[in-house]
Amino acid sequence: MRMYSLLASVVCGFAASAGLGQTLKMRTTPIDEQTQQTLASVFDDRSGPRLYRHDTTPPAQFISATVGTEFVGIHGFDAIGGKDVLTSISCIWGDSTNGSAGRIFVWQADSQGNVNTAVPLVDQTVTVKDALTGRYCEYALTTPVTVTGRFYIGYAAVVNSWQSAYLVSTNTAPTPPGRAWVSGGWPGGSAQYYASIAGPLDPLNFCLPLRASGASGAITYQGRISDGGVNITGPTDMQFRFFDGPSAGTPLSPQFTNPEVPVTQGLFTLELPGDSAWFASAPDVYLEIGVRPVGGGAYRTLSPRQRITRAPAALHAVRAAAADSADSATTAATATFAQSVPWSGVTGVPASISNAFSPWSAATGGIAYSGGRVGIGTATPAAPLHLGSGAVGTGWQVQLTNAAASPTFESGMRLSDGGFFEITNRINGFTKFARLDSNGGWSAVSDARLKTDVTPLDAALDTVLRLRPVRFRWIGDGAADYGFLAQQVRSVLPETVSGDETQGLLTVNYSKLSVIAIGAVQAQQKQIEALKDENRDLRARLERLERMAISPQSAAR
C-alpha cells in the first residue's frame, strides 16, 4: 500500500515548451503569512474513502505561466492494491476566471509508467470556482474510471496573470512514484498532447495541490487523546502504522503522517488507507499512533497500541483462505468474513438484476448494453459490434449451434484469410459454404473432391417443361414479383424445396433450378442438332430427286 508514501512523495517539473513555439515562463512567489493561515483553515478535503494526494503541507507559493495559455498540472500515483476506481478529482485554482471552463484529466500509464505515452481516460470540462482562495474544489467524474498500476491525474485552466496556480512547498518530500509535472499550452490542447509534453523532474521539488478519490479501501479511525488527563483541543500532527503484535513485532504497513489533524475536546476522526495485504496472515492487527504538537518536536508513541477489530480487518477477512480459491458458492460459504467472492462462486443471482453483470442492465426478456460500441478481439471497436481475430484457417469467427436439430446443425460466419466473407450451414462437421467476393458476387462450394456417385442429369428438359413460372404479388407488402410456387416445384423437383408446411414456410433453392435449366438447354440443343442433321438429310434427298427429274428432259433435247 503506497498511499501515504505518495502523500509525502512529490517532485515538480516544468515543460520546456508551451506549444506553438511559446516558451513557458515560470517564477515562484511566496504567499504572505495571512494567506497561509487562511489556506491552513480550509486545507481539509473530504473527498472520499480512498485518497491519492500531493499536499501534506498547505500551499506556500504561486507559480507563473504565460498569460492566456492553458496551465496544466499533472501528478502520478500508484493504484492502491494495483487497481482502483476513481470517482472525483480535487484541485485548487489559481488566477483563472470564476465561472469559466476548466478541465480535469485521468491518464493510464503503460507497464513502464511513462507519462509521455500515457493513454487519456478522462478529459472532462468543469467550472472554475473559488479562484485564488486556496480552497479545494472537488469535481465528481461524470463516469467513474478504473485505473491499474501507475496512473496520472491533472487539471487545466486558462490563466489571467502570473499568479497562475498554487504550489506546495519543498516540505513535501519527493519520494517516487508521487511526482508532479506542469506544462503549458494554448487553450484546447488534447489530453494526449499534454501528456506527451509533460516536463522532467524539477530539482525545486514543488508540486501542485491535487487529489483523486478512489472508490474503496479506507479505514475510518476515531479516537480520543489527552495530555496529563486533559483533553487536547487544536490541530495535532499524527503518525500511524499497523503492526502484527501489541508490542515490538513486524510492521505491516508504511508509516503514515497526518499533519494538523483537527482535535476537539480530545476527539478526532480521520481516514487511513487500507490494504487487504496488511490483514492477510495476522490473526490480530494493532495500530501504533504517534503524536506531537504541530510543526515541531519528536513524535511521542502512545501506549498501548490499539487493537484493530474485525470491521477493518474484514478488508481481507483474515485473508479468508477459502475465499481466495473459491470456485463455488459452497466453498465461499466457509469464508465467513470474505471481502469478495467471484461471480463464478455466486448462485441464485437473477440474470435480470440491473447492473448485476455491469455494464449490462436489465431489459425486457433479458439484459441490454447501451454504452456504445462492443469489441470482441479488439480494443478499438469501429462499429456497434466489432469482431476481430488473427488467422482463422478452417475455423469460424461466429458460430451458431442448435442441439435440438437432428442431425446437429452448426452455422458459422468468417472473414477468411483470403479476404472472402464466408457463411456455412454445416452438418455434423462436414463443411459446405457460400462465399462473397469483393465485387459482391456470391459463389458456392462445388469442388469435385467433395463429391461421389457422380452421374449425368437426365430428362432435364422434360423436368423444366413441367415447371410453371408465375407472376404474383406478395401478401405482405403487395409488391409485384415473378417466380415459382414451392408446392408446385416440390411435385417436380423435391430436392430443391426445403421446409415443413406444418411447422413453417417452404423455400426454393433457385440456384439448383439454374442447374436444371442448363441441363434443359443442353438437351434442347441436342434436339436442335438432331433436327439440323435430319434437315440436311432431307435437303440432300430433295436435291437428288430434283437432279433425277431434270436429267430425262436434258436427254430428250
Q: DSSP strand E in 33-188: where?
A: 50-53, 59-63, 70-91, 101-108, 119-127, 137-158, 165-168, 180-185
User: What integer pLDDT is reported at residue 108 of this predicted model?
Assistant: 93
- Any idea which of 116-120, 173-177, 317-321, 372-376 has the lowest mean pLDDT? 317-321
The reply to whether omega before 246 is within 30° of 0 (cis) is no
Phi, psi angles (nearest 5°) of residue 301? -80, 125
Which DSSP state fits 547?
H
Pick the more confident residue, 358 or 208. 208
Instruction: Judge if pTM exceeds 0.85.
Output: no
Which distant-in-sequence residues (6+ apart) come within 8 Å of 397 by Cβ? 387, 389, 412, 413, 414, 415
Pick the more confident residue, 232 or 283. 232
**Which amino acid would we find at residue 36?**
Q
Q: Which of 5, 429, 15 is nearest to 193 (CA)?
A: 15
Phi-psi region of 86 (alpha: psi -120 to 50; beta: other; left: phi over 0): beta
For the chain, percent of residues with pLDDT exceeding 70: 71
What value does the mean pLDDT of the chain take? Answer: 75
Most confident of 112-116, 261-265, 313-317, 325-329: 261-265
Residues in the chain: 557
- Any idea which of 44-48, 285-289, 305-309, 413-417 has the lowest mean pLDDT? 44-48
pLDDT tens-digit profile of 419-434?
A: 888 888 876 666 778 8
Cα 543 from Cα 390, distance rounded (Å): 75
547, pLDDT greater than 80:
yes
Q: DSSP strand E in 26-69: where?
A: 28-30, 50-53, 59-63
Query: What's the Cα-to-Cα distance from 462 to each of 152, 175, 414, 493, 513, rounded to whole Å?
Result: 80, 93, 40, 12, 13
DSSP per residue, 79-108: EEEEEEEEEEEEE---S--TTSEEEEEEEE
Residue 12 parent element (H or E): strand 12-14
> What is the distance between the terminal CA atoms of the chain, rounded to a whole angstrom?
135
Q: How far is CA 187 from the centre of its chain?
A: 28
Angle, CA 553 vertex, CA 551 and CA 557 arms, to 5° = 115
User: What integer pLDDT is reported at residue 42 of this predicted model?
Assistant: 41
Mean pLDDT of 509-533: 85
- Any idea which of 50-59, 364-373, 473-482 has the lowest mean pLDDT? 50-59
User: What integer pLDDT is reported at residue 535 of this predicted model?
Assistant: 87
Q: Please report the domains of the chain, with CATH numbers, ordered by start residue.
A: 3-214 (no CATH), 218-308 (2.60.40), 385-450 (no CATH), 456-557 (1.10.10)
Q: How far is CA 471 from the centre of its chain?
A: 54
Three-state SS across 314-366?
CCCCCCCHHHHCCCCHHHHCCCCCCCCCCHHHCCCCCCCCCCCCCCCEEECCE
Q: Which of 490, 3, 56 is nearest to 258 (CA)?
A: 56
Cα 450 from Cα 453, distance rounded (Å): 11
Q: Cell 493561515 maps to which residue?
A: 37
Q: How confident is the model at residue 437 (pLDDT cuts 50, 70, 90)?
A: confident
Cα 547 from Cα 266, distance rounded (Å): 143
Angle, CA 292 vertex, CA 287 and CA 297 arms, to 5° = 130
